[in-house]
A and B are shown apart, each in its own frame.
Chain A
Amino acid sequence: MWISVLTAVTEQIVNRLITLEPSLRQDLRDAEHRVLAVTLTDLNLSCALHYNGDHCFVYGNYLDSADCHITTALDTVSELKDPSQLTRLIRANKLDLQGDIHLAQAYSKAFSNLKIDWAEHVSRYLGDAGAQHLVNTIGQGKSRAQKHCETFEDIFTQLCQDELNVTVHPLELEQFKSQTRALSQHLSALEQRINALD
Chain B
Amino acid sequence: MKEENRDTTHFGYKTIESNQKESLVADVFHSVAAKYDIMNDFMSFGIHRLWKRQTIACSGVRKGHRVLDLAGGTGDLTAKFSQLVGETGQVILGDINDSMLKVGRDKLRDLGLVNNIEYVQMNAQALPFPDNSIDVITIAFGLRNVTDKDEALRSMYRVLKPGGRLLVLEFSKTDNEALSKLYDFYSFNILPTMGKLVANDSESYRYLAESIRMHPDQDTLKNMMENAGFEQASYQNFTGGIVALHRGFKY
Residue interface mask A52-68, B partner, CB < 8 A = 1: 11110101111110000
The answer to the question of B155 belonging to the interface, with a C-beta cut-off of 8 Å to chain A, is: no
CA distance A64 to B65 in the complex (A): 15
Residues of A within 8 A of B63 (CB): 33, 52
Q: From residue 21 to 49 of chain A, which have CB atoms closer than 8 A to chain B?
A: 33, 35, 48
Q: Is the CB of A52 within 8 A of B57?
A: no
Output the nearest chain B residue to A64 by Cβ-Cβ distance.
Answer: B60
Given A33-B62, A63-B58, A64-B60: A4 touches B83 (CB 8 Å cut-off):
no
Contacts of A63 in B (CB 8 A): 58
A4's partner among B54, B62, B84 (CB-CB below 8 A) is B54
Shortest Cβ distance from residue A60 to the other chain B in the assembled complex, whole angstroms: 6
CA distance A7 to B236 in the complex (A): 18
Tell me the complex Cα distance, A8–B58, Å: 15
Q: How far is the CB of B114 from chain A (nearest CB, A)?
A: 15
- In whole angstroms, what is the CA distance A1 to B46 when docked? 13
A52 is contacted by which of B47, B86, B236, B238 (Cβ under 8 Å)? Answer: B86
Q: Are A1 and B238 in contact (CB under 8 A)?
A: yes
Q: Which residues of chain A are within 8 angstroms of B47 by Cβ–Cβ distance? A: 1
> If the complex has contacts A1-B238, A50-B84, are A57 and B58 also in contact, measured as CB distance less than 8 A?
no
Tell me, in angstroms, the Cα distance from A26 to B61 when the chains sit together: 24
A60 and B57 contacting across the interface, CB-CB below 8 Å: yes
Q: A92 at the A/B interface (Cβ < 8 Å)?
A: no
Question: Min CB distance, B251 to chain A, in Å?
Answer: 15
Asked if A196 is at the interface (CB within 8 A of a chain B CB), the reply is no
Residues of A within 8 Å of B5, CB to CB, are none
CB pair B83–A7 under 8 Å, yes or no, is: no
Q: Which of A52, A53, A57, A61 contacts B54 (CB 8 A)?
A: A61
**CB interface residues, A 86-121, toward B, < 8 Å:** none
Q: A129 contacts the other chain (Cβ, under 8 Å)?
A: no
Tell yes or no: B239 within 8 A of A by CB.
Answer: yes
Counting residue pairs across A and B whose Cβ atoms lie within 8 Å, the total is 44
Chain A contact patch, size range? 20 to 34
Closest A residue to B84 by beta carbon equals A52
Give B236's nearest chain A residue, CB to CB.
A61
Name the residue on B nearest A60 (C-beta). B57
Q: Quick one: given A33-B62, A33-B63, A63-B58, are A7 and B84 in contact (CB under 8 Å)?
A: no
Q: In the docked arrangement, what's the CA distance between A57 and B63, Å?
A: 13
Q: Which residues of A contact B54 (CB under 8 A)?
A: 4, 60-61
- Contact residues in A for B50 (Cβ distance below 8 Å): 1, 4-5, 8
Q: Which of B29-81 contact A (CB under 8 A)?
A: 47, 49-50, 53-54, 56-58, 60, 62-63, 80
Cα(A142)–Cα(B25), bound, Å: 60
Do A33 and B86 touch (CB < 8 A)? yes
Q: Are A52 and B83 touching (Cβ within 8 A)?
A: yes
Of listed B53, B80, B238, residue having the most chain A CB within 10 A: B53
Does the CB pair B83–A55 fall under 8 Å?
yes
Q: Chain B residue with minimal CB distance to A59?
A: B57
Nearest chain B CB to A38's CB is how many angstroms away?
A: 13
Question: Could you tell me if B56 and A57 are in contact, using CB atoms closer than 8 angstroms?
Answer: yes
The CB with the most chain A CB atoms within 10 A, among B50, B80, B239, is that of: B50
Distance from A100 Cβ to chain B, minimum over Cβ atoms (Å): 15
In the complex, what distance in Å separates the CA atom of A1 from the CA atom of B51?
Answer: 8
Chain B nearest CB from A140 CB (Å) reads: 40
Please name 7 further chain A to chain B contacts, defined as beta carbons within 8 Å, in addition to the given A50-B84, A61-B57, sorted by A numbering.
Answer: A1-B50, A4-B50, A8-B50, A48-B57, A52-B83, A60-B54, A62-B57
Ranked nearest first, the 6 interchain pairs of A and B with the lowest CB-CB distance are A59-B57, A4-B50, A33-B63, A64-B60, A4-B53, A52-B83
**B residues within 8 Å of A by Cβ?**
47, 49-50, 53-54, 56-58, 60, 62-63, 80, 83-84, 86, 236, 238-239
Question: What are 5 A-B contacts defined by CB distance under 8 Å?
Answer: A1-B50, A4-B54, A7-B57, A52-B83, A60-B57
